[in-house]
Amino acid sequence: MSKWYPKKGRVIFHVDMNSFYASVEMAYNPELKGKPLAIAGNPEERKGIVVTASYEARDKGVKTTMPLWQARRLCPNMIVMRPNFERYRKASREMFSILSQVTPLVQPVSIDEGYMDITDCADQGTPPEIAKWIQDSVMEQLELPCSIGIAPNKFLAKMASDMKKPMGITVLRKRDIPSKLWPMPVREMYGVGEKTAEKLNASHIETIEDLAKADVYALKAKLGINGERLQNRANGIDDRLVDPDAVSEFKSIGNSQTLPHDTTDDNEITKLLRQLSQKVADRMENKEVVSRNIQLMIRYHDRKTITRSKQLPEYISKVEEIYQYAMKLWEDHWNGEPIRLMGVTAQDLSEKQDATMQLDLFTYEHEAKNEKLYSAIGELTDKYGTNPFKKLKDKPKATPTTSFQKDFLDDFKKINRTDKGTN
């Protein structure tokens, strides 16, 4: 047993539900099992896109975010259904409830995946035995398949869970890195996007081993601090903790500035908003986080201060996006009186690699217009296990502020608080 539970190390699980939405529908309707199934935003319209697909459909080449018309060409007998988010929410709550029976150290990162720290669970069996119990319990109780990665840290656990799907259990120890991790193409490494992969390939870094052994100064020159971070991960170094409170307690990043004089000058105010947005974007880039909420603070000449915020339909991090939302808040809430101070803050933060786009009908239908992005987004989705959709509009449109993903995380937070209060 001691070989599985090192005195100084940790044992981390990454639990990843397999083809979650489609699997939930199959659990509700057994007649769908074994058939090619796609969940799509709008099955009746040509512009509908695939939210997720069963493995039977994937075997025919169907991918997440693929236009529905293209998916039908690849798989003519594919069954297409609209998403039922309340059904998926319920299944997710029940899945995380099962995980919480093993340990309270459960950190959801999206509706269908999360990390667990089972370092202190030796009395429940070996890690593979515990993983098998979780997998069997989720299948028996919910009829849903999942894959589990077992490793000494989050990064390796995530990589391990992707190595065998569906219904895989994979152990990835540090001593396994040279044989299991390093031979993989660097573009398949969690945290490496398409653009980063292109930069690495241009420097003759083709595999994860190449990245692990590359000159760190050259990496930092090409990728900034992220170059060193990626190299550490390639060498199996990741000291992030499994934090159940991370669901709701991400810190904010903000900057404010007092004007040299009270002003109502649009040009002066616009220039300041741009500068503040740039500072926030730079700090977010350094910390490798994205935001789902932008807040504007306005302090008037009489010291009266107001703050107004906007919950966003997707994660953002670029200066243009932050600036546009800050400007919209300014236009909507400035009362025309002279300004003394302004501040821009990014809130509801998440690490870039853990951020998951809300999977709601509105967003998918809206984004369907950006057909040139389909192949690139599909690759990103395959790489990260999430869909990092971003709008290409110059100005933000009025969109629903209800986030399916955030609602789920809020539910998990409330359940955790209730459980802690009764224990």
Q: Is 113 annotated as catalytic?
A: yes
Confidence of residue 162 (pLDDT cuts 50, 70, 90): very high
CB 127 within 8 A of CB 171: yes
Strands annotated E in 91-183: 106-110, 113-117, 146-151, 169-171
Tell me the pTM.
Answer: 0.65
Q: What is the pLDDT of residues 6-24, one digit of tens each?
A: 878 999 999 999 999 999 9
Mean pLDDT of the chain, nearest integer: 84
d(CA 52, CA 33): 15
192: closest CA among 142, 226, 237? 226
238: closest CA among 151, 337, 116? 151
173-181: average pLDDT = 96
Tokens of 221: 């020159």
Say what the pLDDT of residue 302 is: 87
What is the number of other CB atoms lying within 10 angstroms of the CB of residue 95? 26
120 among the known binding-site residues? Answer: no
Instruction: Provide the CATH topology of domain 178-234.
Output: DNA polymerase; domain 1 (1.10.150)
Q: What is the pLDDT of residues 222-240, one digit of tens each?
A: 998 889 999 999 999 999 9
More confident residue, 111 or 230: 230
Say what the pLDDT of residue 42 is: 66
Tokens of 164: 């065998």
Is 3.30.530.20 the CATH classification of the domain at 246-360+400-422?
Answer: no
Say what the pLDDT of residue 382 is: 46
Q: What is the pLDDT of residues 358-414, one digit of tens each?
A: 434 444 444 444 444 444 554 454 444 444 443 333 333 333 333 345 455 555 655
- To which residue do tokens 């090192």 refer? 6
Q: What is the pLDDT of residues 348-358, one digit of tens each?
A: 887 776 654 44
Residue 345 pLDDT greater than 90, yes or no? yes
* For the chain, domain boundaries: 1-172, 178-234, 246-360+400-422
347: closest CA among 389, 320, 300, 308? 308
167-176: average pLDDT = 96
59 among the known binding-site residues? Answer: no
Among candidate residues 25, 56, 113, 367, the one labeled active-site is 113
| DSSP secondary structure letter of residue 120 | T
b/e burial code for range 334-344 (CB count within 10 A of at least 16 → b): beeeebbbbbb
Confidence of residue 347 (pLDDT cuts 50, 70, 90): confident
Q: Helix (H, G, I), strand (E, B), or coil: what is residue 197? A: helix
Q: What is the pLDDT of residues 190-203, one digit of tens each?
A: 989 888 999 999 99
What is the maximal distance between C-alpha atoms in the chain?
70
Cα-based distances in Å from 389 to 35, 56, 212, 332: 28, 25, 29, 26
177: closest CA among 238, 239, 234? 234
Say what the pLDDT of residue 289 is: 84
Same fold, 1-172 and 246-360+400-422: no
- To which residue do tokens 């992220």 refer? 226
Q: What is the CATH number of domain 1-172?
A: 3.30.70.270
Interior angle at CA 409, CA 403 and CA 410, nearest 5: 85
